[in-house]
Structure 1
Amino acid sequence: MHRLIASALVLSTSLCAATASAQAVQKKAAGGAAKAEKAIDQGLQSQGLKNAGLYGELGLSLLDYRISGSGISGKPVALRAVVGYDYHPLLAAEGMLGFGLRGFSGTGIYGSPYRVSAGTMIGVYAKPRLIIGEGSEIFARVGIASTGASVGGYTGTDSGAGLSYGVGVKMQTPWRSFGQRPISVSGDYMSYYSGSGVRFSGITIGAGMAF
């Protein structure tokens, strides 16, 4: 009986210690994130951009890559970051940067294997939008983008730069960052490049935060 009580006390003490440790780690993480956001605020303020409409988004892009007449198509995956600035309630300007995460393997029309890998995507856009609620909007993008891709087993055109456009929607969520900034979620369809027999497009799901 004494051993059972002693074991229970040891277990209870261990659980309390683990809980306290987890809470301490959570507090440290929250404190670190809050300090980082405060540093961002100070940096923006020093540039005269405090509360001036700067925002950022990070998303996962499911891409569709095709080369006409070759039988080559693939669906690589990329990570996409967007930084925007609200010049007007109905218009923003954005910069986009994307990196390939996962490639796609297939077989061409002549039985030759190939692998499509997304490279770097860089773009600048004008973003007209229609506000549909507090922090929520339907938007379009139009601009210029440079896309890169490598296609193993194929020597034709696989990248380019030109007109890029798309549409999407952004919705405000009840979630907040450590600095109590509202977090939004978004989804969009973009045509990043179309030319020289190459088409590069995709759907992106992401989350963002205003600074």
Structure 2
Amino acid sequence: MLFLSWHRPSSKDQATCLARCKDGEFNYDTKFKGATRESPLSGDRAEELKKNGFAINHASVKLGSGKNAFLQGKEALQNWGHFQLPWASVDASTPIKEGSKFCVCANEIVTWVMNPLQVLYVDSKTPSSVDQKHQQAAFAYGSGTLHGHMLAGEEKFLVEWREDDSVWYEISSFAKPANFLSFAGYPVARLQQKMFAKQSMAAMQRAVTVSQAENQTPVNA
């Protein structure tokens, strides 16, 4: 089962796709459900995933430093700023909460593919006082692939304010082909994953830079 469209999928197209996907019917072994919560994936867990055919991916980029950079990065993530690319996007009105289903709409040269996923978890860590420096805070969510997705696996997106006051955006995932068609095109899918990570990180950096510039713009009297 694949969800294809000859044009960029509309909200109605995506709703139709998701209506055909039952909650919690992931297309990968449930024993790996939520594995991305502990990122980066390493040790025995990583080895087990690799033995089961999954490729593990990890990428991160510094967004800035301090409270404002964290809040701006968190806001961008909550509004799907990391997933508004010319060739791959998510409906920005989708709430990021446990159980939410959404489609990643990807342009595959001659057609668009709607890849259904479901949010597995949302983690938010707030320091006792965000006005103090060197307090760690984080916002993250992870999603798993549903039946009809070209790949099988999970992906986690994280914005983290670290103890050294730096703010980072991180992507962690594990994935493998979900069917014969995606297996045949897997080398292309791997390239797309790398391209997505690069462009998504650039989008998050731009979002924080623009927000900081707007906050610093003087108001004319």
Q: TM-score, normalised by structure 2?
A: 0.29
Structure with a larger share of its residues in helix: 2
Larger relative contact order (Cα-Cα within 8 Å, sequence gap ≥ 6): 2
TM-score by length of 1: 0.29
